[in-house]
Amino acid sequence: MTQDIQMGNAGSDPQPNRWRYFSFSTDHKVIGIQYMVTSFIFFLIAGLFSMLMRAELLTPELNLLSRPLYNGLFTLHGTMMIFLWIIPCLVGLANYLVPLMIGARDMAFPRLNAIAFWLIPPTGIFLLSSFLLPSGTAQAGWWSYPPVSIQNPSGHLFNGELFWILSVALLGISSIMGGVNFVTTIVRLRAPGMTYFRMPIFVWTVLSAQLLQLFCLPSLTGAAILLFFDLAFGTSFFDPFKEGSPVLYQHLFWFYSHPAVYVMVLPALGIFSEIIPAFSRNPLFGYISVALASFGIAIVSIFVWVHHMFASGTPGWMRMLFMFTTMLVAVPTGVKVFAWTATIWKGKLHMETPMLFALAGIIMFLFGGITGVMLGSVPFDLHVNNTYFVVGHFHYIVFNTITMAIYAAMYFWFPKITGRMYAEGWGKIHFVLTFIGANLTFFPMHPLGLQGMVRRVSSYNPQYQELNIVASLGGFLLGISTLPFIVNIVASWLQGRPAPNNPWHATGLEWTVSSPPPVENFEEIPIVTLPPYSYGHDQLAADTPTQK
């Protein structure tokens, strides 16, 4: 298992074979690509699930799927999109970029890195295999709230819920391995001169997100252990009929799963902070505030989890307290949005695909952030609790912001990762389809929720049908929108125009090395003397802004 053959022969292997992507490689760049491609496949599968649900919701009656199947689809859709798409995809991107951005040859623990990745594909397949069980998949939603989740109506020991718990625990172990690796790498492997306040914002956001993983995720592991015992061994931690407390599960679950949203969104904000300066040819406005705002968001996000439980019999003082902390998140987030706007101001804008995705992502993030503050307000939350308004808000963050940011990142770093340029026209088609599809799907959910349509139902009152048809058409459009992306990526990777080292005139160490970077990243470890985003220094006009 220890084939460290890629190590120690820098640059001697210009045309490494493609099979290394299927091997237990310890090169952070190979592992990064493995993460991103694997998670994209899970994204397509979970996206297919959502289209099945949208097809069912075209009519008010239940006529395409069965109720248990519908429940299973939304449960696995949520679980997979979070734990098998966004989190691993961003980990993959960070895996590829962080060592390059801080001037390191690899991650601190290359073998641990590979193990963390190789836990993911089998776990994903294991979770999907629960469709084949006689009891079917887990049906309790991605929250898996007891007492619903511990009922086990089929009576089988190997039931979908058990598979769900084991999968989440395994993915958690993989995430903790990744967290240990990232934090150690960023703290200890920075190149000489790469002080904390010279790190690109993406690295800051990865560091704050991974610290959240390390100190909040174990709470979900604890909850999963307790749930496992309730389900399989007849204990009653969460069983309200035997003095157990279902609300306790909600606390343990959201203590991780709210920060999990920030584990996902922080690197997305980091991506915006890389792309906006590059395509405005302007230094990032207020670098230090943006860097510290990442930590601000991370810290505040640890103290907001009860806002998911305003309707769970939470005492009044607790509601008030968590309403306050929830709204506090808007402050560091606002700092970031302000900084991006000020960066664009009087910049020389270049509207290539990454910039389009980034700008659209920021605009929709603003919308999702506003509905987030609305939901943080207790009286409003009680009104729309468990309705489609919440689903709409959440998807404006996870799809319209984070997935847009991931697409932006894919286009932005594609030339660096593959050494080839993508086709700009296809990229713009992909952008237009995604932007229209995303708003068509998720915007109607807000009025639907305000009118009272509850989430997680397969049949509904006919008065909601028109808006549901709009959302479903948008959903199918989103499905179609992935096709130009896939075609573009595959075709460009195979035969695209060769990419220069720095096609975007961007700053940052990753653009100083060849495209794709040599196996050992840097022939010589660079010595950093300039602050990040140093447009305006004399290297600006050069094709490769050397930071040495």
Partner 1 sequence: MDRLSQPRENSQEHGNGMFGFTVFLLSESVIFLSLFATYILLRSIAHGWLPRGVSPLEVTQPAINTAVLVSSSFVIYFAEKALDRRHLNQFRLLWLTTSAMGTYFLVGQMIEWSHLKFGLTTGLFGSTFYLLTGFHGLHVLVGILLQLLMLTRSFKPNNYTSSHFGVSATALFWHFVDVIWLVLFSLIYLWRP
Q: Which positions touch partner 1 (CB under 8 A)? A: 108-109, 176, 179-181, 183-184, 187-189, 214-219, 221-223, 225-226, 229, 233-237, 242-245, 248, 251-252, 255
Judged by beta carbon, residue 228 or residue 493, the one nearer partner 1 is: 228
Please say which residue, 57 or 252, places its beta carbon nearer to partner 1.
Answer: 252
Give Dmax over CA atoms of the chain in angstroms: 72
Shortest CB 388 distance to partner 1, Å:
32
Q: Please give the structure tokens belonging to residue 13.
A: 């292997």
Alpha helical stretches, state H, 281-422: 287-301, 316-328, 330-344, 353-376, 378-384, 388-397, 404-418
Quickly list H helices, 443-519. 445-451, 465-495
Sequence-distant (6+) residues with CB within 8 A of 125 are: none
Least distance in angstroms from the C-beta of 28 to partner 1: 15
Smallest separation, CB 169 to partner 1 (Å): 11
Shortest CA distance to 261 belongs to which of 249, 269, 273, 251? 269
- Minimum distance between the CB of residue 337 and partner 1, rounded to whole angstroms? 31
Least CB distance to partner 1 at residue 214 (A) = 4
Q: Which is nearer to partner 1, 248 or 457 (CB)?
A: 248
The beta-carbon contacts of 64-68 under 8 Å, at least 24 apart in sequence, are 65/458, 67/458, 68/136, 68/139
Nearest CA to 350 among 486, 535, 509? 535
Q: How far is the CB of 100 from partner 1 (least distance, A)?
A: 18
Minimum distance between the CB of residue 184 and partner 1, rounded to whole angstroms? 4
> From the CB of 502, what's the least distance to partner 1, in Å?
31
Residue among 275, 273, 326 at smallest CA distance from 297: 326
Closer by beta carbon to partner 1, 255 or else 287? 255
CB nearer to partner 1: pick between 121 and 222 = 222
For helices 110-118 and 120-128, the axis angle rounded to 10 degrees is: 10
Prior bond of 516 cis (ω within 30°):
yes
Preceding omega of 526 cis (within 30 degrees of 0): no
The nearest distance, CB 262 to partner 1, in angstroms, is 16
Task: State the virtual CA torsion across 311, 313, 315, 320 in degrees, nearest 10.
Answer: 0
Q: 356 and 307 in contact (C-beta within 8 Å)?
A: no
Structure tokens at 335: 């700092």
